[in-house]
Structure 1
Amino acid sequence: MTAASGQVTLLVIAKEPVPGRVKTRLTPPYTRQEAAAPAEASLSDTLAAMLRVSARRRVLVLNVKPGRWLPPGFDVVPQVSGGLDEQIAGAFAVRDNGPALLVDMDTPQLTVNQPADNGEDGHDAWFGPSADGGFRALGLADPFLAGSLVRGVPMSTDRTGAAQRRSLVEAGLSVRDLPLLRDVDTAADAASAVGLCPPGSRFAAVLASFSEVAR
């Protein structure tokens, strides 16, 4: 699928970037307030990337409420209760007809071409692995299948990605693998990701400001 086809529903699953509730593994070396800044910047970069992709609909699946960082062009729906597998399955329930692609807020190096690689290419599913063993994107040609494919997959482990991909394959789906990216969970992740961010990245700007202050 190309960015021009516009048939995909784009889903972004996110946490409100509030100090002490996001990116807690960045502390130390950062304070809670400092850790929230790259989280908000990463979310902003992700939403901006989604706006550059032609889509049927764009949906932010959020745990609390949107803030000033939310640009126009997104519907906002609450996350369902339960574990991350339930939240992901619930996110797919808000899709329109046609394929849906879900991405998280933790890969600020995401570019337009990566989320666009989903939909009308003969595959049933699209899987974006993350370097920590999880996954950062999941697309389904038939989002009605999400509940049976995602629920019960063990989340937040170094085997989550392998387990989720195996669930797709064992269901008989043809899977297209998207590029491996690094989720930003730790300071080392942030340092690795910042060099891969596209021009104009808010995330890169925030990390650069931290470096300036430290000098």
Structure 2
Amino acid sequence: MASPTDLSVIIPTLNEAEVLPRLLAGLRCAPPEVIVADGGSSDGTADLARRWGATVVATAPGRARQMNAGAAAARGQWLWFLHADTEVPPDWAAQLHRALADPRVVGGAFATRIAAPGLRYHVLDAWGWWRTRLQRSFYGDQGIFVRRDVFERLEGFADLPACEDLEFSERLCRAGRVVLLPGPLRTSARRWQQRGWRRTVMEHIRLAVRYARDGPRSMPPYPALAPGSAVHLVVMAKAPIPGRVKTRLSPPLTPEQAAELAGALLRDTVAAARRLPDVQVVVAVEPAEAVPVVRGLVPSVELVPQAVGDLGARLTAVAAARFAAGASAVLVVGSDHPTLPAAVVAQAVTWLREGRDEMVIGPAEDGGYYLLGMTRPHPEVFDEISWSTPDVLRATLDRAAALGLPVRRLPSWYDVDTPDDLARLQRALSHHPEAAPTTARWLRLVQNAVY
């Protein structure tokens, strides 16, 4: 390697503002070209990277897509792919210089060490060292480097939801001589700490078995790749504004009472969602300017405005935004199902965590659906749907079938849209008020208004 200008460092990011400065600071001892391929961060990662002098490439989320986009923008003859939560050793430049001076070398990676004390992490370090030598393949946190012409000949990283690093490194090892440098690169322990050591190790093992048995194209999204919870549960909510919400309940309710009921239903729906383990709850508000109104009802959850357009456009936009925010699956529910059994939603979450490219749907009795989940964005599912009609469910299932998208169905449930729905809800809560306590209390106050 003649000079740092021969090397381009490519860092895929998604909401990495907290950890990225440590990596960028470590690279400054022999500054190469640094390209941050950002997948739509909402925490200021891109602006922070620019302040550190990096070139920022905005791209769709997905680690393989981001790394390929960064490589396309790079000028160096060598490409070095680093995770944002990596710490490089002080002599990284010297180690690379010695390795890349050999014309026979087409690429390689570094030994790693998890940045946390304890025997369990030392065991993982030792296993990583032996695994690399036995399997002749690298993980992304090992800092894979490759000669540009070889990278282009191999056509970059395959667009896989997980293990794109392993699949690429296997092809790299067949392309010529590869080296394992001593490093070590220190990789963050946050994935193990956030999700639990045992659980994360078991996820690694399941993925490794599936990869070995079924091949790279079978891989599901890997939940631990994204910071925070993997499944984002989005409650689609109309702001409780009199005359604009639950209008089919007036009469018997007044517009003000209908708005109060909508607020109570929302609070109970959000409370039930928050009881699900390892799920990030988000409330998407319509209209957008009413976010402050809804914040007063559910102050402890993330609120986002819904996009402008019909329900299909709004569902497409909110799903895209949550996938860009790091979700491995997005589950959308309505805001007026406070008595929906928790086991039903938990089943949807369980199916989505399996990572299959399929849709989970909860049919509503009025011909629509109360729940919809996906592990990949599929905006075409919402095309050519006549919304607010009894044909919504059938048309959506037809669209999924036309796209070859498998569907798993949950039990049917009801919306609270009509006086009959409201009477049904009141009867249910008279026996089990604990299912939706805010709504039950409100109904007791206005019970004479329901016939």
What interval of TM-score do these two structures reach, taking the shorter chain for normalisation?
A: 0.7 to 0.9
Instruction: Provide the C-alpha distance between the structure 2 equivalents of 1:94 and 1:113, rounded to a whole number of angstroms.
Output: 27
The alpha carbon displacement at 1:37 in A equals 1.6
Instruction: Provide the C-alpha distance between the structure 2 equivalents of 1:125 and 1:50, rounded to a whole number of angstroms.
Output: 19
Pairwise CA RMSD of aligned residues? 2.1
The one-letter code sitting in structure 1 at the alignment partner of 2:236 is I
Instruction: Provide the C-alpha distance between the structure 2 equivalents of 1:169 and 1:128, rounded to a whole number of angstroms.
Output: 16
Which is worse superposed, 90-99 or 78-87?
A: 90-99
Q: Contact between 1:128 and 1:177, CA under 8 Å: does it hold in 2? A: yes
Compared CA separation, residues 213 and 167, structure 1 to 2 (3 A): closer
TM normalised by structure 1 equals 0.88
Q: Deviations over 1:179-200 (max 9, x none)?
A: 2111111111111133345542
Partner residue in 2 for 1:183 = 415
Instruction: Provide the C-alpha distance between the structure 2 equivalents of 1:84 and 1:151, rounded to a whole number of angstroms.
Output: 10
Instruction: Provide the C-alpha distance between the structure 1 equivalents of 2:398 and 2:428, rounded to a whole number of angstroms.
Output: 29
Instruction: Provide the C-alpha distance between the structure 2 equivalents of 1:89 and 1:32, rounded to a whole number of angstroms.
Output: 30
Instruction: Provide the C-alpha distance between the structure 1 equivalents of 2:408 and 2:330, rounded to a whole number of angstroms.
Output: 14
Determine what percentage of the aligned residue pairs are the same residue: 32
Q: Does 1:94 align with 2:321?
A: yes
Q: Contact between 1:14 and 1:43, CA under 8 Å: does it hold in 2? A: yes
Q: Does 1:69 align with 2:305?
A: no
Q: How does 1:13-92 map to 2 (within 5 A)?
A: 13-63=236-286, 64-65=290-291, 66-72=294-300, 74-92=301-319
Q: How does 1:1-215 map to 2 (within 5 A)?
A: 7-63=230-286, 64-65=290-291, 66-72=294-300, 74-95=301-322, 96-118=326-348, 119-121=352-354, 122=356, 124-142=358-376, 144-145=377-378, 147-197=379-429, 199-200=433-434, 201=436, 202-211=438-447
Q: Contact between 1:13 and 1:91, CA under 8 Å: does it hold in 2? A: no
The one-letter code sitting in structure 2 at the alignment partner of 1:203 is T
The alpha carbon displacement at 1:208 in A equals 2.3
The alpha carbon displacement at 1:213 in A equals 7.4
Structure (1/2) with the larger helix percentage: 2
Structure 2 residues not aligned, in runs of 5+: 1-198, 200-222, 224-228
TM normalised by structure 2 equals 0.44
The one-letter code sitting in structure 2 at the alignment partner of 1:135 is Y
Q: Contact between 2:252 and 2:449, CA under 8 Å: does it hold in 1? A: no
Q: Deviations over 1:143-163 (max 9, x none)?
A: x21x11113221100111111
Structure 1 residues not aligned, in runs of 5+: none
Instruction: Provide the C-alpha distance between the structure 2 equivalents of 1:209 and 1:34, rounded to a whole number of angstroms.
Output: 11
Instruction: Provide the C-alpha distance between the structure 2 equivalents of 1:38 and 1:18, rounded to a whole number of angstroms.
Output: 11
SS at match of 2:340: coil
| Segments of 4+ moved more than 4 angstroms | none
Q: Deviations over 1:87-108 (max 9, x none)?
A: 1111111212311100011222
Which structure exhibits the higher relative contact order, with contacts defined as CA atoms closer than 8 Å and separated by 6 or more residues? 1
Instruction: Provide the C-alpha distance between the structure 2 equivalents of 1:8 and 1:32, rounded to a whole number of angstroms.
Output: 35
Equivalenced residues, count: 208
Q: Which has the larger radius of gyration?
A: 2
